[in-house]
Structure 1
């Protein structure tokens, strides 16, 4: 319950108030004093948001070690003793998406750094392949060095005997690809970085007539001419909303898979879905936080860490299914695997849609 620091007089109209008055009987203003020290304001915020009382301590153990227990208690109507699942999801999702965005942008920036003063003869094959990939994707606007006579000296981390230009235009586009001819795409690559050429002039030069292709080409030019991290950040900021919209769909899939359990209404499946997502977000948020502050892990070690955390989240969800729906292990495992397949398909579909919308609106 929200805490109020009540006053004997209404701060708005001066009406005398009693201790039990939640609102002023004269003007209707809330009977609370908001003129407080910063420390007290922060305490009230976290107390109201996280419910720093007995509910939090009653919820910690079952949330971590009794999968499905909190959802079952909510279905039985025993809700006052435990943290509100929507509050729990809100706080954990903020933690997860914050560190996930930091980690992804950090990894992207680390990959974009081109090594300097490295003898190509001393590079491993993996390093050479990495450099080829980086230059092909124009990380750190590396292709701008093509205009310089010292391009080879500025980007010496290249396989011996190769030049940066060898990787600048490796993409070949055949006539008719998405309605764009190879000649039109060559003109796009040639003129897209020339600021004096407007989008409309470039599109007319490419002879693009279809409205969608003109829109897509304008957006592609805007993205490629900016720092790619800007577009990545734009995409990442929309993912929390996408995942939030997916939770009701996840609950709907649960409702279909367990349609015979008529005593469990849709809201019960939704609460169960929220608890499952909250735990997964907490696990992956902790992993993202650890990897963000730990620079000693290579890609293989990061892959193993993700696999371990993925298995933890998966087994937690499996045991939660078994406890909450009270079915045998055979049915539980089958429905769990089926749901996992369907949900991954939904996530990929939503992500492609989110990426497409972000591309058009960027």
Structure 2
């Protein structure tokens, strides 16, 4: 269809897209790349452009997959050297593989069997039942009665009124002490009242209706909701994982560029390698998760761990072109940095996510 539209008889003297002057031999505009044709649109033109774009992407996608899977480091080198039309854009490919991975990961992790929370009466009943089953013996002689009395008194059910404190007292406390007191009070008050309105709760507790106090009360609500139903928070956190990885990868690339500071590559070229490596991670573990879903075990992920370790080592050797010993040393250092950063970013993400949950 495009070949018919590009016939000489349909060529114009000016690009219809950008207005650049054209010659008869110009099949495409040298400025914007649009086909030089004044032929009116036909229904077939839409299908032609759709399928030509689809197959063009598919051919690059298949080539990118093949080189990425079987030639570690080569695709990053080719892309940096300017051979870009034959491959999918690294960032676009990274996004595609990330979306597929998280869809599969979300399907495989439904959080079945998670304790969704039990009230104190249920826990007490279970403990009593367990105690009876184990035929636990208690010594009631002598001072043991006093110990038992103290245990009973200490376990006497308290209400939020036992934790009430006046605003004047809170104002005299340090920040951390005041936060601890308010958190404990709000926690017990919410359990008893189930009041989800922070302003109303603060009014009834006769505390200052400040933005910070409202936030602390809301976090007390969230804590109880998460405690009763962890799946809510875990689903929320997993939904943020792509965002976490997008923040984590540029930071990790900074350390990668420092370790290979004497290489010829700049930061963006190191990032290209990181994108391709992470894309391989997503592809490999997507396949592993699918295998584990069908086989009902973790063999796929265990095998993927071994394959990815070998792949990363080969990728570092081919891309940075250094010897075995140097690559092994830097490989170990990079893995230590990777897991340290992962723990730090993970903890920050958990606390940050809870703060805005």
Asked if these proteins are the same fold (TM beyond 0.5), I'd say yes
Matched residue of 1:259: which SS? Answer: coil
- 1:233 and 1:41 mapped to 2: Cα distance? 40
- 2:62 and 2:224 mapped to 1: Cα distance? 50
- 1:44 and 1:351 mapped to 2: Cα distance? 43
* Structure 1 residue runs without a partner (length 5+): 9-15, 113-133, 170-175
1:209, CA displacement in angstroms?
Answer: 10
1:281, CA displacement in angstroms?
Answer: 1.0
1:327, CA displacement in angstroms?
Answer: 0.8
Query: What's 2:58 paired with?
Result: 52
Query: What's 1:195 paired with?
Result: 194
- 1:95 and 1:34 mapped to 2: Cα distance? 36
The count of aligned residue pairs is 297
* Structure 2 residue runs without a partner (length 5+): 21-31, 132-154, 159-173
**Partner deviation per Cα, 1:182-221 (whole Å, 9 max, x = no partner):** 8973772463363347435656749799976763442241
- 1:271 and 1:47 mapped to 2: Cα distance? 25
- 1:102 and 1:178 mapped to 2: Cα distance? 41
Preserved CA contact (<8 Å) 1:85 1:275 = yes
Q: Of 351, 356, 360, which residue of structure 1 is paired with 2:351? A: 356
- 1:197 and 1:289 mapped to 2: Cα distance? 41
Preserved CA contact (<8 Å) 1:17 1:24 = no
- 2:199 and 2:129 mapped to 1: Cα distance? 40
Q: Of 326, 330, 334, which residue of structure 2 is paired with 1:339? A: 334
1:276, CA displacement in angstroms?
Answer: 0.3
1:289, CA displacement in angstroms?
Answer: 3.4
- 1:195 and 1:37 mapped to 2: Cα distance? 62
**Partner deviation per Cα, 1:313-355 (whole Å, 9 max, x = no partner):** 1211111001111111111011111111112222222222222
* Change in CA separation of 1:161 and 1:320 when aligned onto 2, cut-off 3 Å: same
Greater per-residue helix proportion:
2
Query: What's 1:265 paired with?
Result: 266
1:92, CA displacement in angstroms?
Answer: 0.6
1:159, CA displacement in angstroms?
Answer: 7.4
In terms of Rg, which structure is larger?
Answer: 2
Q: Of 251, 256, 263, which residue of structure 1 is paired with 2:253? A: 251
- 2:342 and 2:16 mapped to 1: Cα distance? 45
- 1:35 and 1:237 mapped to 2: Cα distance? 41
**Residues 233-252 of structure 1 mapped to structure 2, 5 A cutoff:** 233-252=235-254
TM-score (norm. length: structure 2): 0.66
TM-score (norm. length: structure 1): 0.65
- 1:78 and 1:305 mapped to 2: Cα distance? 34
Moved more, 319-328 or 242-251: 242-251
